[in-house]
Homo-oligomer: A and B are copies of this chain.
Amino acid sequence: MSSVFGKNTKISIFGQSHSAAIGVTIDGLPAGFKIDMDELHAFLSRRAPGNSEYSTPRKEADMPEFLSGIVDNTTCGAPLTAIIRNTNTRPGDYRNLADIPRPGHADYTANIKYKGFQDPTGGGHFSGRLTAPLCVAGGILLQILKARGIFIGAHICKIGSVSDKLYDPCNVSVEDLYCTSEKKLPVIDKEAALAMSDLILAQKAVGNSIGGAIECAIIGLPAGIGSPIFDGVENRIAQCVFGIPAIKGIEFGCGFEVAEMTGSQNNDDFYVDDNGLVKTATNNHGGILGGISSGMPVIFRVAVKPTPSIGIEQNSVCIPTNENTKLTVKGRHDPCILPRAVPCVEAAAAIAVFDMLCESI
């Protein structure tokens, strides 16, 4: 595997769903930053399972133990490692997964890649549980970014056919970014939230699941960040965000809508605002031109597939006998992963952005 991301600030994620622990090392943190542990816990609880009717009832504190890298909660320059012990596991649920791969999961591809030696319990290293250490790293970096005036937020912008209000791409505010962070369903529009809730619970009732999309915005990022051709803002955010399981697409600014636009529609006019700052009148470019931040809000959306673990019988194969078979996935699963994926997207964005900020040229 290659679970290390970053050039100057490197994030290394480890653990399997049911190994002794999962965790993360952040190498290259600036020394002297005091981590607000309450804020970190609040952030992590947004990702934690069991706190709403939309997620698996597997309930875990998921609060990290810090093994190194901090003294009195303040970074000391040494690599920071935090772990979360795995408890409350039910390995029996997954016993036959090594033999019969679950559709939509990594069971089959992991079996090929690791020649049958992969850890199948609970999805092993491919479990969504591995987003917990991603959020530990991201939660810390979000705090460091905030101290530098850079704010990141995300919300569910779509579940099924129901869409949320989008951020105002030119004027998204810190309040906008944070207004959904305490909601069970992090959605801006109340009506949309209700309709989404109905959709999710309807799928839950039949043992099925449903997908969606998440919108993320980064404000306060100075112009001039990103190193094209291959380490531009889109390249790096995309590389990091695809580390979140279930994400199948990413688009910046107008994204796939540009296919239907003309140049005069898509181009964002420059103007000098009342404070003498150069801005764009629209933000179809999503805050990135030529791979470099423009100073406008960075806006992107990701597509999140429905949880592949469903309670409905599916067709699969039995690897040892190489024959077709049926599979019914047991265990506890999220009917919709979107609410818990929102902080993961914020975390991944923070990780990518902070590493880019560390490039001095």
The yes or no answer to A258 lying at the interface (CB within 8 A) is yes
Least CB distance, A243 to chain B, in whole angstroms:
4
Binds B, one of A41-49, A165-173, A184-192, A267-275: A267-275
- The reply to whether B23 and A81 contact each other, CB–CB distance below 8 Å, is yes
Binds B, one of A54-62, A155-163, A175-183: A155-163
Residues in chain B near residue A224, CB distance under 8 A: 109, 112-113
- CB contact between A15 and one of B19, B81, B240, B308 (< 8 Å): that residue: B81
Residues in chain B near residue A343, CB distance under 8 A: none
The yes or no answer to A149 lying at the interface (CB within 8 A) is no
The yes or no answer to A130 lying at the interface (CB within 8 A) is yes
Q: Mark A310-336, 1 if CB is under 8 A from B, else 0.
A: 101011110100111000000000000
The yes or no answer to A251 lying at the interface (CB within 8 A) is yes
Least CB distance, A337 to chain B, in whole angstroms:
10
The yes or no answer to A88 lying at the interface (CB within 8 A) is no
Within 8 A of B (CB), among A235-277: 235-236, 238-240, 242-243, 245, 247-272, 276
- CB contact between A248 and one of B258, B267, B358, B360 (< 8 Å): that residue: B258
- The reply to whether B65 and A259 contact each other, CB–CB distance below 8 Å, is no
How far apart sit A317 and B80, CA to CA, in the bound complex (Å)?
30
- The reply to whether B230 and A240 contact each other, CB–CB distance below 8 Å, is yes
Residues in chain B near residue A7, CB distance under 8 A: 7-8
- The reply to whether B230 and A235 contact each other, CB–CB distance below 8 Å, is no
- The reply to whether B263 and A208 contact each other, CB–CB distance below 8 Å, is yes
How far apart sit A170 and B203, CA to CA, in the bound complex (Å)?
27
Residues in chain B near residue A248, CB distance under 8 A: 234, 251-256, 258, 286
- The reply to whether A117 and B32 contact each other, CB–CB distance below 8 Å, is yes
Residues in chain B near residue A290, CB distance under 8 A: 105-106, 109-110, 126, 245
How far apart sit A234 and B276, CA to CA, in the bound complex (Å)?
41
Known: A251-B248, A256-B251. Contact between A267 and B227, CB under 8 A? no
Residues in chain B near residue A23, CB distance under 8 A: 67-68, 81
Known: A22-B67, A125-B228. 16 other contacts (CB 8 A): A2-B359, A7-B7, A8-B359, A12-B25, A31-B115, A78-B119, A110-B292, A113-B292, A210-B261, A250-B250, A251-B256, A254-B305, A267-B308, A269-B315, A269-B316, A270-B317
Q: Which 5 interchain pairs have the tightest Cβ spacing? A: A106-B290, A249-B251, A78-B125, A77-B114, A2-B227
A-B contact pairs, 27 of them (CB 8 A): A1-B77, A8-B359, A12-B25, A13-B79, A15-B78, A21-B67, A67-B83, A101-B270, A106-B228, A106-B289, A106-B290, A109-B293, A125-B229, A160-B259, A213-B259, A230-B239, A230-B243, A234-B248, A248-B256, A249-B252, A251-B303, A261-B306, A267-B314, A278-B319, A358-B359, A358-B360, A360-B360
